[in-house]
Structure 1
Amino acid sequence: MSVAAKICGLNEATAVRTAVAGGARFVGFVFYPPSPRAVTPEQARALAALVPPEVKKVGLFVDADDAAVAAAVAAAKLNMLQLHGDETPVRVMELKRRTGLAAMKVLKIGEAVDLDAAAAYRNVADWLMFDARPPKGMIGALPGGNAVTFDWTLLAGRDWPLPWMLAGGL
């Protein structure tokens, strides 16, 4: 198994340069306005220009509409979508078809049963990402990026149908 790092939530040029210099194979731009790390398509365009071709540019979206996704993809010349909301398998397929890009579907994990959702994305997503489900009652909780972990041993011994990444409190 090979390990690749994706650094997400980059919204400053210094952060992009540091991630690239540190060996990140993926850099992520958040297109979710409630996030403190969100960028506009125009900001992402400038940041994406700092990313060398061998590093994949990923756009993080949360239940975004087609126009928002299209604007971000065009501005930042994204290589991949990271879908962090309640996107169904059908919606993931629609976005892949509309953009021509690979898609990473994020699954929010709190307990073992949450991992069962991976099966629905087997023939749809190109990657899976396992992130911690925000704790109930967490003030200011976002769909991800809350610096919260889940019990990573839940992933052990499973044969995942797709390449996957781990997120949450790393």
Structure 2
Amino acid sequence: MTVGVKICGLTEEDGVDACLRFGADWIGLNFFTRSPRYVTATRAAELANRFVGRENRPGCVGLFVDPTNEEIAAVLDTVPVDILQLYTTAERAASIGQNFQREVWLSVPVSMAADLPVETKVERLVIESRAPKDADRPGGNGETLPWDVTQGWFSPCPWILAGGLNPDNVAEAILLSGAPAVDVSSGVECSPGIKDPEAVRRFIQIARSSGKR
């Protein structure tokens, strides 16, 4: 199994270039204004221009929290987003996918096996820990979930493990969860929104190696 890797919350060129150099499968751009990794559509377009048009380029994932159609359309007018990653209801996510004709990933907060979906109308599920009660955003809080909660789960579509991952724990997370793909943001940063190229390299290398066991 080759484990897929998404590096999320890119805000600067060095981070994007590290993703390209070390072979990330997806690059995530965050359009949630309360996130420290928020980028405007104009800034996101500048970053995306560093890899759009490349052969075998990474997928461009746009992250939105309970967006209106108008908010999504404004981004898509400027940024070459391939995939919409959504924090919203399952029904709303399916509707957005149909409306914009884009692949949709639905973020699913989990604390126990009973929270894992058994059916879906989106292309991929992002499985992560529930946000703390006092959090001001639904994801990107650096919280991990019990990785073995997904053992024995028959996912209705491809899925990706997120939340609290870093180069030091990603191998164990993959081993215990059986995740076919992993998503990291703060775990490869030297400060909020600023990626550490060496941490990006290590994360991708370790995740890939873990999938070959």
Contact in 1 for aligned 2:118/2:154 (Cα 8 Å): no
Which of 160, 164, 171 does residue 165 from structure 1 map onto?
160
Q: Give deviations 1:135-160, integer Å, cap 9, x for gaps.
A: 234xx542111111010100012211
Aligned length: 162
Contact 1:29/1:39 (<8 A) preserved: yes
Give the superposition deviation at 1:23: 1.1
What is aligned with 1:128? Answer: 125
Corresponding residue number in structure 2 for 1:147? 142
Structure 1 distance, partners of 2:113, 2:98, is 31
Aligned AA (1:159): F
For 1:92 and 1:134, the matched residues in 2 are separated by 20
TM-score under structure 1 normalisation? Answer: 0.89
**Contact 1:9-1:28 at 8 Å conserved across structures:** yes
Per-residue deviation, 1:44: 0.6
Q: Which runs of 4+ in 1 moved over 6 A?
A: none
| Conserved 8 A contact 2:29-2:62 | yes
Q: TM-score, normalised by structure 2?
A: 0.72
Corresponding residue number in structure 1 for 2:113: 112
TM superposition shift of 1:111: 2.1
The share of aligned pairs that are identical, in percent, is 35
SS in 2 for 1:119: coil
More RCO (CA 8 Å, sep 6+): 2
**Per-residue Cα deviation, 1:81-123 (whole angstroms, up to 9, x for no partner):** 0012xx22321122112211000001011222221xx2342xx
Counterpart of 1:41, as a letter, is A
Helix, strand or coil for the counterpart of 2:33?
coil
What is residue 32 of structure 2 aligned with on the other side? 32
Q: Equivalent residue for 1:94? A: 95
For structure 1, the residue ranges without an aligned partner over 5 or more in a row are none
